[in-house]
Amino acid sequence: MINIPLSIKVRAIAITISTCLCLLPFQGHTQTVDFSESWAAYQAMKAHASNKSMTWERLPDWSGVWTGSPDYLPYYRLSSDGKLNVRVSAKNTFESSKQAAPLTPAYQAKAIKVLQDRTKGIDWDYVSNCIPAGFPRWVVSHYLKEFALTPNLVWMLNEEQSEVRRIYMDGREHTPRDEAYPLYEGDSVGFWDGDTLVVHTVDNKEGTWDRSAAAYSDQVNTIERIRKVNKDVIEDQMTVYDKMALTKPWTVTFQFTRVTEPSDLRIRMFSCNENNNVVQDETGNSHHVLPGEVGYKDPNSLSENSQLNK
Amino acid sequence: MLKYVVITFTLLLPLLLGIPASAHHSHAMFDTTKRISISGTVVDFEYTNPHSWLKVTNEADGALWAFETNSPSQLLRKNIKRTALPTGMKVTVTAMPLKDGRAGGQIVSVKKEDGTILPIEPEAPTAGYTP
């Protein structure tokens, strides 16, 4: 056995400890979403997919203006004994979408608190602060949507806050973990399985599915299977993985429907701060600041009052 | 005296019980069971995101009222254009009032001087809403 002098052992230990201490600050920069389960499922789908390599000639036609709807989201309300009760909109006819998010005890408690506040007339939504809805909430936003398909990149555009999802289809992996951080639309990669767009998304910010609906954590990651089922409907079957918020993966199906009236409707850039005078009052509730009141932001003089013009 | 009519709807439709609402903000500030009616002159029709606003001078007392309505693309889908409500036009606005009694509300309908009613749909559930 090699006999190492004590001074060298001490030095080795000191170097090891100082190296670890130096690396500690960088640990906070590493995005630690555990998406191993959904990634394995996504890779299995990819292994069995047909016609994965898309060409310009074979791209499906998803052109047009579409709209999402919260109707396809099974949601919770409080029963008379204060427990969570699942509700399903009449428009939601998908057998696979009758279950609301299977929440962990901590996220059940969050949902109950939001609904209890609501019964007291206290209701607030972070979107009212002009924070983007973000993904996966993006899919239930009732504003207009557009889908721009190319063989190597797909853009999904939401009118609300001009939020854009980018789905990289060129075979690349997700952003390296030491470069990743929580994003409003997450980090998405995808492939085609025939005419079905399969998308894997990670690195999302925490949020809620809708105002007064269940919350999701920044651990949320999803697999979507998106396809045009007829000329007026694009269907998005999503399996949601979230080890903080969900007890098990949750599959739910959403629809985007074509907007036909007026036929020439265009999606415009959307600035939420253009005319937003909703604030959260001291009770936590939503409150309108009216013209003439302290804090009112007149949309006709926002640019005149800006610091740039002073 | 403020000249407006408050109608309380006692027959609440059970059909709209608390469905999720994706508008930009909560409707908790509005009394969705009541209607007010204000007649006056259009000061401004702000065709803006996230909501459009109609500002009207109440002919009864000259007070400025501010009414919220849909976003431009939602109005366009009802064929309600920017030019639908020009400054100076006489209108009667029916709205869900703010619960705290200030001069504002959410539009239920707008009747123009010629009797035409704009097909605006309020974002807040119109009845049976259980906050």
Q: pLDDT of A244-267, one tens digit each?
A: 999 999 999 999 999 999 999 999
Instruction: Produce one character per residue of A214-248: b if its CB has 16 or more CB atoms within 10 Å, e if not.
Output: bbbbbbbbbbbbbbbeeeeebbbbbbbbbbebbee
Average pLDDT score over residue span A208-215? 92
> Measured between CA atoms, how close is B113 to chain A, in angstroms?
25
User: Do the Cβ atoms of A276 and B102 come within 8 Å?
Assistant: no
> Measured between CA atoms, how close is B111 to chain A, in angstroms?
23
Which tokens sit at A303? 């640019």
Q: Do residues A305 and A296 lie in contact, with contact meaning Cβ atoms separated by under 8 Å?
A: no
Tell me which of A43-57, A290-304, B16-30, B91-105 is least confident.
B16-30
Fold that domain A36-258 belongs to in CATH:
Lipocalin (2.40.128)
Among candidates B22, B44, B48 on the partner chain, residue whose Cβ is nearest the Cβ of A140: B22
Ramachandran class of A64: left when φ > 0, alpha when ψ lies in -120 to 50, beta otherwise: left
Is pLDDT above 90 for A12? no
Is the minimum CB–CB distance between A257 and chain B shorter than 8 Å? no
Q: What confidence score (pLDDT) does residue A306 get?
A: 55
Tell me which of A162-166, A173-177, A283-287, B26-30 is least confident.
B26-30
- Residues 38-57 of chain B with CB under 8 A from chain A are 44, 46, 48-53, 55
Q: Residues of chain A with pLDDT > 70: what percent?
A: 88
CA B19 – CA B3 distance, rounded (Å): 34
| CA distances in angstroms from A302 to A187, B39, B49, B67, listed in the order given | 34, 29, 14, 19
Q: What confidence score (pLDDT) does residue A237 get?
A: 96
Q: What confidence score (pLDDT) does residue A94 get?
A: 78
Average pLDDT score over residue span A127-156? 95
Average pLDDT score over residue span B70-91? 96
> Which domains are seen in chain B, by residue range?
7-118 (2.40.50.140)
Closest by CA position to B72, among listed A42, A269, A86: A269
Could you state, in order of their start, the residue ranges of all structural domains in chain A? 36-258, 272-302
Quick: pLDDT tens for B94-115. 999 999 999 999 999 999 999 9
Identify the band that residue A307 occupies on the pLDDT scale cut at 50, 70 and 90.
low
Tell me which of A4-8, A269-273, A301-305, B9-13 is least confident.
B9-13
Q: What confidence score (pLDDT) does residue A98 get?
A: 82
Report how far Cα A85 is from the mean position of its chain's Cα atoms.
24
According to DSSP, the β-strands at B34-46 and B90-97 are antiparallel
- What values do phi and psi take at A278, rounded to 5? -95, 130
What's at B38, amino acid-wise?
Answer: I
* Contacts (Cβ under 8 Å, ≥6 apart) of B129: B16, B17, B18, B27, B32, B33
Is pLDDT above 50 for B6? no
Q: Residues of chain A with pLDDT > 90: what percent?
A: 75
Among candidates B29, B72, B73 on the partner chain, residue whose Cβ is nearest the Cβ of A286: B29
| CA distances in angstroms from A133 to A17, A97, A124, B22, listed in the order given | 43, 22, 13, 10
Preferred mutation among A141, A275, A282 to probe B, highest tally of B CBs within 10 A: A275
Identify the band that residue A20 occupies on the pLDDT scale cut at 50, 70 and 90.
very low
Is pLDDT above 50 for B66? yes
Q: What residues form DSSP beta bridges with B91?
A: B40, B112
Which tokens sit at A79? 């029963």
Identify the band that residue B125 occupies on the pLDDT scale cut at 50, 70 and 90.
low
Quick: pLDDT tens for A46-94. 999 998 889 999 999 999 999 998 888 999 999 999 999 998 888 888 7
Identify the band that residue B12 occupies on the pLDDT scale cut at 50, 70 and 90.
very low
Is pLDDT above 90 for A303? no
Q: Residue B45: in which H helix or E strand, if any? A: strand B34-46
